[in-house]
Structure 1
Amino acid sequence: MSLGVTMAENVPSAHLRAVLQALLVTFLWSTSWVLIKIGLKDIPALTFAGLRYVLAFMCLLPLVLWSGQGRQRPYRMIQQLSRPDWLRLIVLGLLFYSVTQGAQFLGLDRLPAVTASLLLSFTVIVIALLGIPLLSEHPTRLQWGGIGLYLVGVLVYFYPVSIPTRQIVGLIIVLIGVFANSYSTVLGRDINRRATISPLIVTVISMGIGAVVMLAGGIIAQGLPSLSLQNWAIIAWLAVVNTAFAFTLWNHTQRTLTAVETSIINNTMLIQIAVLAWLFLDEDLSGREVFGLVLAGVGTLIVQVQRRRVT
């Protein structure tokens, strides 16, 4: 009897632990925006992004080399990858890391963190729309309502439209990143649907390819400046804690949390970033802008939750 009670008590505690761990991950990811804005004062955007993800790749590489046993070792699975598999991983790495992450850093160099975050949340909407021709997934009526609510939120946030030229360039760069991120997400789902490559291998290989290309491009185009101890500390924290550790912990929580719970927790980042930017970057928001953020956040949440329930 006592054993049954103990097991019943462990279930909610394990679930609560997973929720708290997922919230910790979203908090770490949200702090990345603040750290990136601080680092961009001294480090060129593409070089900065390349250094972060090359170091993160080096942290995750041991998991590929030494985890598993026998034929289940990831590096043995890599040896069995076909040419089409490698082509998909290369395209995924270039899209999700070289283009998407590069655009995020370049955009943050020109835009307030909250504005860039709001625009990047448009990824959810684009994925839903891309799912129609590419995955034969048609949005429900409620999802269309969520898309409309998001667009209303964006209009409320930016009204009246008065954007400096530098920020217009930033908006264009971030929107390029949004479409690259959206397509790479659809491509990633297609790769995972085939179930022939483990998620760890997909992440590590695509990250390594995309990060090396991004770092090389950054050094060629922007150079590698002399970095201070603080610069290296920011890069190391972003790579080791906010990327390698957070990725590992997030995947661990997915064994316990439902897709709907994951969507809700992930969606809190929009508000977290706004609060952190206000506290540490002096990015003040008016009541209208906060209202626009809330509308956009609810809109993307509706689209995500409905999509995951359907799939």
Structure 2
Amino acid sequence: MTATTRPRAVGLLCLVIALWGANWPIMKVGLVDMPPLTFAAVRLLLATLTLFVISPRRLKLPAARDLPVVLSVGLLQLFAFMLCMYLALMVVPAGRSAILAYTTPIWVVPMATLWLGERMTPLKALALAIGLAGIGVLFNPAALDWTSRAVLIGNGLLLAAAAAWAITIVHVRGRRWQATPYQLLPWQMLLATLASGWVAFAFEGDATTHWTPRLIVILLYNGILASAFCSWAFNEVARSLPATTTSLGSLGVPVIGLLASAAWLGEPLAPSTVLGLVLILSAVALLVRQEIGARS
């Protein structure tokens, strides 16, 4: 399969950043009408149906060698990440949620050192320290209500979501694939759909959903655009642009998420939130720089 042209890839990257970033306040609004576990299940179902419709020529059953990758991406990166994220969004501001969910690269550093034997360089250690400092700023008593159990659990779930994604990255990095990401994505999404559907039925089977035109539009946005289209587009971008461009570009998602939440939901831009965001993004930028140096 031929990679797309550079100008088209840049355009796709900008579109993905905008769609993912804007989705944080959109998800927050959608959870007013639908319970979180059900929301995750419907989003994944719509994404799965979309991928199976648009990918008939690339579809084939995963080989035995690829089943561990299907399981880790489907159950951790998609299922666990989304469940933690939606449960957290019930009590955590959307902008703050976007920042904490994108701490994934920070958790990859110690995991890759322990499980893959990657060397902890001084630059990686500095990035890890800065990233943890950013998380510390977000969790300081002036920025977080430590007396609220729900708030603490919500913020903890976002870190758990980031860690689940990090585990997937480390696992996938340490394995050899037989199929392409395009061929495996529909099956990974299907597995996540089945798991989230079971959990939603078990825990929210009798919960009430307020079906409104607004909710339907939000679900279509999440399932078709934010999940199916953006997953395809980000893979296309990763194949066509340097890893540095893709990695640094993705840092725009929490920035847009924070600004969009402030503009649309009136969430305050607290100094501690902005400082935490700057520190975390600086840490990720250092990690990208480390990757550049390692490959040059």
With normalisation by structure 2, the TM-score equals 0.89
CA pair 63-198 structure 1, distance change in 2 beyond 3 A: farther
The yes-or-no answer on 1:142 pairing with 2:123 is yes
Query: Structure 1: which 5+ residue stretches go unaligned?
Result: 1-13, 68-72
1:40–1:109 contact (8 Å) kept in structure 2: yes
Q: Given the alignment of the two structures, is residue 203 of structure 1 paired with residue 185 of structure 2, yes or no?
A: yes
- Is the aligned partner of 1:168 residue 2:142? no
Write the deviation string for residues 78-106 of structure 1: whole angstroms up to 9, x where unpaired: 26x12x53344234311122211110111
Give the aligned partner of residue 230 of structure 2: 246
CA RMSD, Structure 1 to Structure 2 (Å): 2.0
Tell me the amino acid that sits aligned with residue 20 of structure 1.
G
Deviates more, 1:143-152 or 1:45-54: 143-152
* CA 1:207–1:283: 2 relative to 1, 3 Å: same
Kindly indicate whether residue 51 of structure 2 is the aligned counterpart of residue 85 of structure 1.
no
Instruction: Write the distance in 2 (CA, Å) between the matches of 1:39 and 1:126.
Output: 29
CA separation in 2, counterparts of 1:254 and 1:122?
A: 20
| Residue in structure 2 matched with residue 32 of structure 1 by the alignment | 23
- Residue in 2 that maps onto 1:121: 102
**2:155 matched to 1:155?**
no
Give the greater-gyration-radius structure (CA): 1
| 2:67 alignment partner, SS class | helix
Equivalence for 1:70: none
1:46-103, CA deviations, whole angstroms, 9 ceiling, x for partnerless residues?
A: 11011001110110013442x2xxxxx432xx26x12x53344234311122211110
Give the distance between the partners of 2:186 and 2:172, measured in 1 at CA.
Answer: 13
1:221 corresponds to: 203
Q: Does 1:261 align with 2:248?
A: no
Please name the residue that 1:58 is paired with: 49
Q: 1:45–1:106: 8 Å Cα contact kept in structure 2?
A: yes
CA distance in 2, matches of 1:23, 1:309: 25
Asked if 1:187 is matched to 2:171, the reply is yes
Q: Matches of 1:92 and 1:248 in 2, distance apart?
A: 15
* Partner Cα distance (1:16, 1:91) in 2: 33
Q: CA deviation at 1:121?
A: 2.2
Unpaired runs of 5+ residues, structure 2, are none
Distance in 2 (CA, whole Å) between partners of 1:187 and 1:145 is: 24
Whole-angstrom CA distance in 2 between matches of 1:231 and 1:259: 36
For 2:83, which of 102, 107, 118 is the aligned residue? 102
Task: Give the AA of the match of 1:244.
Answer: A
Query: Structure 1 207/133 Cα, relative in aligned 2: closer, same or farther at 3 Å?
Result: same
